[in-house]
Amino acid sequence: GEAVHVAWVTEEAGGYSSIWHAVFDPEARSLESPAPVATLRMIRGKVLQGPAVGGIGTQAVLAWSTGQRMGVSGAFDVPDGGGGISRETLNAQGGGLGQAGSPVGQRLGDQAAYVLVPHTPATTLTIHPLSDEEVIAVWRGPRLQIEGNRAWIILSGWVQRHASARLQIVLASVDEEGRSGLTIVTKTWSPSLWPDLAVGGDGTLRATWLEPIGDDKYQIVVASTAPEALEALGGFRLVEWVGEIATVGFDIMGLLSFAPLVLGWIILPLGLVLVGTFVSPSGVRGWQAIAWLGVAALLQLACKRFLFPALLPLGPDPAETALSLLPTLLGAGLAWIYWRRVEKPLLLAAYGFFAGTDAIFSLFVMLPRLLWAA
């Protein structure tokens, strides 16, 4: 008969856990060639999901995931409603994935992964992450089904969509040569959770999962690759189109959040300078032109203070305040030198010297200090 593959986890000293694999002999009622395939460091708050195991040809496939046990938007806790999180937030909370090519016993980070175990024990195995540029993390453990010489792995993964990541159903196929790629099954705004998979003898895939619909209620979603199922269920769902439209809409809203910065720090001061250039009756050297230039400079400084207070800290420390004002004083000095030395100075050029010098030197003076503090 077919080999029965068994996988289990043992806890070790120092907060480590080992994933083991063996083949069960039903006649002898014993395990053949038990061996560890991976060792993971399970720090406090981390949990191991799996492993799932199956056999393809002369090899076994083991798949598992690790992640944080708790967290409002971490890899192992999902809000009831929709919404996503940024890729940076996900990685910071321990949901990011590690690298491929790990030998047996390598201490793995937070990730979902699989390994191919040959029938003949090997001293080195390659740990393959279940991730790519789009699927950047997972939620819960993967499920695994075998059909012929191919293993199918289904999971709920954080999929990068524009500026955020959302939980979608992800499918991977593995043969004796390795993984053929990740297929993103859903494109919904709300998270797709708890997937499971069945594979028919003819290779037909049938998947099901849950999607929250609010008020602690969930709907069961069914999908299949069978032609009759496609005809009965339809080729797409309206909720997926709505989800894509909502994602694009929120990305546009994110871009609009930069409107105060662009308006207050760039457009309004430049507008004041242009108006002053044409309405000053006494020419560019008159007091009216200087007044327009001063108002534009004060507006630029006010926007710098309120939009980027870290670049212009006015705290109790006199040395820090003087250092933060140094770029502004340099810009004002350079603008004054231009104004006095040029026979016919341009108001726009004078403001450009001031604002440009202030911006460049602010980065040189304050940015290294901010990075050092971080």
Distance between CA 350 and CA 277 in Å, rounded? 11
3-state SS, one letter per residue, for 255-275 = HHCCHHHHHHHHHHHHHHHHH
CATH value at residue 157: 2.120.10
Question: 284-314: per-residue pLDDT in tens?
Answer: 556 777 787 788 888 777 777 776 666 666 6
Percent of the chain scoring above 70 in pLDDT: 67
**Mean pLDDT in residue range 49-72:** 79
Q: What is the pLDDT of residue 209?
A: 92
The pLDDT value given to residue 90? 43
Q: Is the pLDDT of residue 254 over 70?
A: no
Do 64 and 150 have their domain in common? yes
Q: Calculate mean pLDDT across residues 50-68.
A: 87
**pLDDT, the chain, mean:** 73
The single-letter DSSP state of residue 103 is P
Cα 286 to Cα 104, 269, 273, 297, distances in angstroms: 78, 19, 14, 17
Strand partners, 214: 217
Q: Which tokens go with 170?
A: 């992800």
Residue 310 DSSP label = G
- Name which residue leads in pLDDT, 136 or 237: 136
Q: How confident is the model at residue 195 (pLDDT cuts 50, 70, 90)?
A: very high
- Confidence band, pLDDT 50/70/90 cuts, at residue 6: very high
Q: Which of 256, 288, 312 is the last residue of a domain?
A: 256
pLDDT, position 89: 43
Residue with tokens 């602690």, as numbered in its chain: 216
Q: Is the pLDDT of residue 82 over 50?
A: no
In this structure, the answer to whether residues 85 and 162 fall within a common structural domain is yes
Which of 145-149, 161-165, 351-355: highest mean pLDDT?
A: 145-149
Co-location of 229 and 290 in the same domain: no
HSE-up (13 A, CA, CB side) for residue 223: 19
Read off the pLDDT band of 236 (50, 70, 90).
Answer: low
Domain span at residue 281? 259-373
By C-alpha distance, which of 76, 63, 191 is closest to 130?
Answer: 63
Q: How many CB atoms lie within 10 A of CB 205?
A: 20
203 pLDDT band, cuts 50/70/90, is confident
* Claim to verify: residue 247 and residue 267 sit in the same structural domain: no
d(CA 207, CA 218): 16
Question: Is 207:197 a contact under the CB 8 Å cutoff?
Answer: yes
The β-bridge relationship of strands 30-41 and 107-108 is parallel
Residues 241 and 323 in one domain: no
pLDDT value for 144: 92
Of 205, 228, 256, the residue at which a domain comes to its end is 256
Q: In the listed set 256, 282, 297, which residue is the last one of a domain according to the structure? A: 256
**Residue 111 CA to its chain's centroid (Å):** 13
List alpha helices for the chain, DSSP H: 87-92, 227-233, 238-256, 259-262, 268-279, 287-307, 318-341, 347-373
Task: Please tell me whether residues 169 and 190 are part of one structural domain.
Answer: yes
Pair (106, 213) in one structural domain: yes
Residue 37 in contact with residue 21, Cβ under 8 Å? yes
Assess whether 283 and 243 both reside in one domain.
no
CB-CB contact of 145 with 171 (8 Å)? no
Q: Are residues 33 and 139 in the same domain?
A: yes
Report the 10 Å Cβ neighbour count for 322. Answer: 10
Please give the structure tokens belonging to residue 192: 């797709």
Q: Same domain, yes or no, for 279 and 218?
A: no
Overall number of domains in the chain = 2
Tell whether 248 and 281 lie within a shared domain. no
For residues 40 and 45, give the distance between their C-alpha atoms in angstroms, rounded to a whole number. 14
Do both 239 and 318 map to the same domain?
Answer: no
pLDDT tier, 121 (very low <50, low <70, confident <90, very high otherwise): low
pLDDT in tens, 344-364: 777 778 878 887 777 777 766
Mean pLDDT of 112-129: 78
What is the mean predicted confidence (pLDDT) over 256-265?
54
Q: Interior CA angle at 225 toward 222 and 231, to 5°?
A: 80
**Contact (CB, 8 A) for 315 and 305:** no
Between 106 and 163, name the one with better pLDDT: 163
Place of tokens 């709920």: 156
Residue 275 clears pLDDT 80, i.e. is over it = no
Poorest-pLDDT segment among 27-31, 112-116, 361-365: 361-365
Cβ atoms 185, 223 nearer than 8 A: yes
Nearest to 9 by CA among 52, 69, 61, 51: 51
Over residues 170-178, mean pLDDT? 85
- 307-341 confidence digits (pLDDT tens): 666 666 666 777 777 777 777 788 888 888 887 88
Nearest to 27 by CA among 4, 55, 49: 4
104 pLDDT above the threshold of 50: no
pLDDT band of 137, cuts 50, 70, 90:
confident
What is the rounded CA–CA span in Å between residue 204 and residue 223? Answer: 11
